[in-house]
Amino acid sequence: MERKLSEYISLSQTIDITKSSKKIKVGILSSFTINGLGETLTVKCSESDIECKSYVAGYNQYNQEILDPKSKLYSFAPDITFLIIDIRTLLNKIFHHPYSISSLERKKIVKEKISELRNLILQFKKNCSSKLIISNFSLPSYSPSGLIETKSEFGFHDMISEINQELSRIAKDEPSVYVYNFNQFISKFGEKNIFDYRQFFIGDIKIAFDYIPYLANDLMGYVKPMLGLNKKCIVLDLDNTLWGGIVGEDEFDGIELGQSSNGKAFVEFQKHLLSLWQQGIILAINSKNNFEDAIKVIREHPDMVLKEEHFASLQINWNDKAQNLKVISEELNIGLGSIVYFDDDPVNQERIKQEIPEVLTVKLPEDPSQYTDILMSLNDFNVLQKTDEDLKRGKMYSQQRQRTELEQSTKSIDDFLKQLNIKVTIKKADKFTIPRISQLTLKTNQFNLTTKRYQEEDILKFSSDNNMIVGCAQIEDKFGDNGITNAFIIEKNDKEWKIDTFLLSCRIIGRGIEDAIISYILKEAKNQGIKKIRADFIPTKKNSPAEAFLPNCGFKKENEHWVYDLNNTIKSPNHLLLEVE
Amino acid sequence: MSEKLYNIISKIFSVPISEINDESSPETIESWDSFNGLILVDELEGNFNIKFSVSEIIDVKNVKDIKKHLSNHGVDLNG
């Protein structure tokens, strides 16, 4: 349940935001009175441990704020800016009288409006490095032409749809610009609820007070991933969470799943979890049960939507649930702060909240028919960009579980590595791999020699420089595709190469992959008549896993740098296959 | 008397109940601006389950006026 706007406003006066560990500056521009949104965002941010400072531009001042390079908005220097223009303001008198003009004229007006919006976006980008979130336009439920609106030649509603489509097209080409689907917001809560004529006539308020907190909730969906606060993993209880009843007592045939009304609620909930898994969210289980009882349901129940292959970790045992959650976090190498926990038992919910407050413990009601709605209202799974690797993440983590199981059942590490049938494919930087290479430099903390962070534009520049090599490697094995999980950047000089960046995603460390790739680089250099390769290790708080890498590969310390003399023989591991694309 | 009303006013304008009386108005309560005035309307409507008209809302000059309109809507402040 969302709180009232008045509560947020009074809370915003009492909270101490300076204790928060993350900071963000939010700009708010709108074409109507939107008082209270800044206060609500401040409170919501503080609850996510973010210090939020907001600048709310004067009423209907958005044009001046964007077009004047010296505006207050730009001197405030926001990190993220929300621009909310309503359809009445945009269309002006045409909003009420769309049929006072011909369809050709309507088309012309739409073109003008689109070019106005495009200009605002481009001017904003020129003057400011902030991300820009621009809302699209709501389709009014009413049309003066009544039921034949849908038959009108480029009618009133077509105008708005066309503007929305164009707006999305513009944003697709601008990495820092996003369209907020305000039209969907209105459909979700209802035009009659959101637009209160009295508030509109008295104060030019176009979003009724009660709905400002819901709007703020949607906008938080952008703020969280900007600060790396998006969740990556959902940990689930089993009994009364994924199915009804207790399998240990009610037995395989006695649980509710599929046929009954409650059974359908659990199936629906599982379907939505699966769709999140397909978007790269990791799923895991934390349940007090006999392993055999529970796994039988997962493997054999005809109405289970989620199967064993969807879970990256299965903690089905009688251990303490908080302990299990910590095991999952370590096993998957993800922070506790990236986990959302679903458990129907209020006692368990309370226990996890107190023991591991970093985990987002969802307050589940007793009635399973509400589970799906609660899952869908979470704004914590958003990301601002998505690569192929992100989409495959859920699958890759469950394959990882199978690898670990093989490792535990194999006697020697060499046997294990041989059985994996690893294939390394070296790829050049191109338009398909550049976003991922940039993402790896931005996100990789552990196996990273220099921890240099590069945006897409940087990688693009390097890759077109003849004196540089930018590459990456895709790793596959018998359990599946790990995707592009290595990247390297090399500076070429006549006699010597310098490794600027060499990194490996932590989930593939320790399988000889790093050795194979470095030996590929060494051989390339040797073939081109180079005598020496220089590399650096810049220590950080997190990159100790890469510390011994250079000496282990045969690099020798010379002054402050690590140097490999290419007259030496180059070793490469023989348990894997390396291909160059 | 009027306890519920005063509680709401006190909460919305962040003033102690003891400072609220019939003559309290935007002149005597600093945080009573037009926006907070509308927030107050929203709270009163929710709490007393009524709806004011635009004329009633813009007519309010002080707490006494609020009481008048509440009682026109059948709210018994002495009850």
Cβ pairs A/B, distance under 8 A? 37
Measure the CA angle with vertex A331, ends A325 and A336; round to 5°: 45
Query: pLDDT-derived band of residue A73, with 50, 70 and 90 as boundaries?
Result: very high
Burial A334-365, CB ≥16 within 10 A → b, else e: bebbbbbbbbbeeebbebbeeebeebbbbebe
B-chain residues near A203 (CB < 8 A): 34-35, 38
The H or E element that residue B44 is part of is helix B34-48
Facing residue for B14 by CB, picked from A10, A35, A202: A10
CB contact under 8 A, B42 and A209: yes
Domain range for A265 is 233-377
Same domain, A212 and A320: no
Let me know if residue A218 belongs to a domain. yes
The H or E element that residue A127 is part of is helix A103-127
Query: pLDDT-derived band of residue B79, with 50, 70 and 90 as boundaries?
Result: low
pLDDT at A94: 95
Tell me the mean pLDDT in the region A408-422.
Answer: 83
Same domain, A188 and A264: no
Same domain, A311 and A163: no
To the nearest 10°, report the CA torsion of A16, A18, A21, A23.
Answer: 110
CATH number at residue A76: 3.40.50.1110
Reference A283, options A320, A338, A228, A229; nearest CA is A338
Judged against a pLDDT cut of 60, whether residue A224 lies above it is answered with: yes
pLDDT at A171: 94
CB contact under 8 A, B38 and A209: yes
Same domain, A77 and A208: yes
- Percent share of chain A, pLDDT over 70: 100
Let me know if residue A405 belongs to a domain. no
In a mutagenesis test of the B interface, which of A198, A204, A212 is the best target, namely the one with the most B β-carbons within 10 Å? A198
Instruction: Kindly report, residue by residue over A273-323, the tens digit of the pLDDT.
Output: 999 999 999 999 999 999 999 999 999 999 999 999 999 999 999 999 999
Judged against a pLDDT cut of 80, whether residue A516 lies above it is answered with: yes
CB contact under 8 A, A209 and B57: no
A41: tokens are: 């965002």
A-chain residues near B34 (CB < 8 A): 202-203
Tell me the mean pLDDT in the region A115-123.
Answer: 96
A298: tokens are: 């997962």
A107: tokens are: 């088309």
Instruction: Kindly report, residue by residue over A457-489, the tens digit of the pLDDT.
Output: 899 999 999 999 999 999 998 888 889 999 999
d(CA A102, CA A545): 69
Judged against a pLDDT cut of 60, whether residue A493 lies above it is answered with: yes
Judged against a pLDDT cut of 90, whether residue A388 lies above it is answered with: no
ipTM score for this prediction = 0.89
Facing residue for A6 by CB, picked from B43, B53, B57: B43
User: Which chain A residue has the Cα nearest residue B40?
Assistant: A6
Tell me the mean pLDDT in the region A516-529.
Answer: 94
In a mutagenesis test of the A interface, which of B35, B45, B47, B52 is the best target, namely the one with the most A β-carbons within 10 Å? B35
Facing residue for B38 by CB, picked from A13, A199, A210: A199
Same domain, A458 and A483: yes
Let me know if residue A343 belongs to a domain. yes
Contact between A407 and A416 (Cβ < 8 Å): yes
Facing residue for A13 by CB, picked from B14, B38, B39: B14
Same domain, A454 and A364: no
pLDDT at B77: 78
Q: Of A193, A226, A259, which residue constitutes the final position of a domain?
A: A226
Facing residue for B39 by CB, picked from A5, A198, A201: A5
Facing residue for B58 by CB, picked from A35, A202, A205: A202
What is the count of structural domains for chain A?
3
Tell me the mean pLDDT in the region A494-520.
Answer: 91
Let me know if residue A305 belongs to a domain. yes
Strands A556-558 and A561-565: antiparallel
In a mutagenesis test of the B interface, which of A209, A211, A212 is the best target, namely the one with the most B β-carbons within 10 Å? A209
Tell me the mean pLDDT in the region A545-574.
Answer: 91
CB contact under 8 A, B11 and A10: yes
Q: Is A200 helix (H, G, I), strand (E, B) or coil?
A: helix
Let me know if residue A269 belongs to a domain. yes
d(CA A106, CA A155): 8
Facing residue for A203 by CB, picked from B14, B35, B46: B35
CB contact under 8 A, A10 and B34: no
d(CA A528, CA A494): 10
* Lowest mean pLDDT across A149-163, A306-320, A403-417, B29-43: A403-417
Judged against a pLDDT cut of 90, whether residue A402 lies above it is answered with: no
Q: A428 φ, ψ to 5°?
A: -80, 160
Same domain, A350 and A422: no
Same domain, A476 and A562: yes
CATH number at residue A442: 3.40.630.30
Q: Of A226, A251, A271, which residue constitutes the final position of a domain?
A: A226
Q: Closest approach of chain B CAs to the CA of A72, in angstroms?
A: 23
A1: Cβ contacts below 8 Å, ≥ 6 apart: none
Burial A476-487, CB ≥16 within 10 A → b, else e: bbebebbbbbbb
Judged against a pLDDT cut of 90, whether residue A422 lies above it is answered with: yes
Instruction: Kindly report, residue by residue over A322-340, the tens digit of the pLDDT.
Output: 999 999 999 998 899 999 9
Q: Which of residues 193-222 of A touch B (CB under 8 A)?
A: 198-199, 201-203, 205, 209-210
d(CA A227, CA A233): 17
Reference A183, options A149, A215, A224, A216; nearest CA is A215
Tell which wins on pLDDT, A432 or A155: A155
CATH number at residue A273: 3.40.50.1000
CATH 1.10.1200.10 fits B3-72, yes or no: yes
Same domain, A237 and A222: no
Judged against a pLDDT cut of 90, whether residue A538 lies above it is answered with: yes
Same domain, A221 and A258: no
pLDDT at A548: 92
* Lowest mean pLDDT across A16-20, A65-69, A303-307, B41-45: A16-20
Q: Of A161, A194, A226, which residue constitutes the final position of a domain?
A: A226
Instruction: Kindly report, residue by residue over A27-39, the tens digit of the pLDDT.
Output: 999 999 999 999 9
Same domain, A222 and A244: no
**Interface check A3 vs B, CB under 8 A:** no
d(CA A496, CA A492): 7
B-chain residues near A9 (CB < 8 A): 39
Measured CA distances, A209 to A8, A82, A527, A546, B8 (Å): 11, 18, 69, 53, 16
Judged against a pLDDT cut of 90, whether residue A359 lies above it is answered with: yes
Domain ranges of chain B: 3-72
Let me know if residue A372 belongs to a domain. yes
Query: pLDDT-derived band of residue A420, with 50, 70 and 90 as boundaries?
Result: confident
Q: Is A37 helix (H, G, I), strand (E, B) or coil?
A: helix
Let me know if residue A386 belongs to a domain. no
pLDDT at A396: 86
Q: A131 φ, ψ to 5°?
A: -70, 145
Q: How far is CA B42 from the centre of its chain?
A: 10
Instruction: Kindly report, residue by residue over B22-41, the tens digit of the pLDDT.
Output: 999 999 999 999 889 999 99
A-chain residues near B57 (CB < 8 A): 198, 202
CB contact under 8 A, B43 and A9: no
A-chain residues near B10 (CB < 8 A): none
Judged against a pLDDT cut of 80, whether residue A1 lies above it is answered with: no
Let me know if residue A443 belongs to a domain. yes
Tell me the mean pLDDT in the region A97-103.
Answer: 96
Tell me the mean pLDDT in the region A111-133.
Answer: 95
Contact between A136 and A150 (Cβ < 8 Å): no
Facing residue for A203 by CB, picked from B12, B38, B43: B38
Same domain, A181 and A278: no
pLDDT at B1: 52
Give the side-chain half-sphere CA count within 13 A for B49: 2
Q: Which of residues 13-42 of A touch B (CB under 8 A)?
A: 13, 33, 35-36
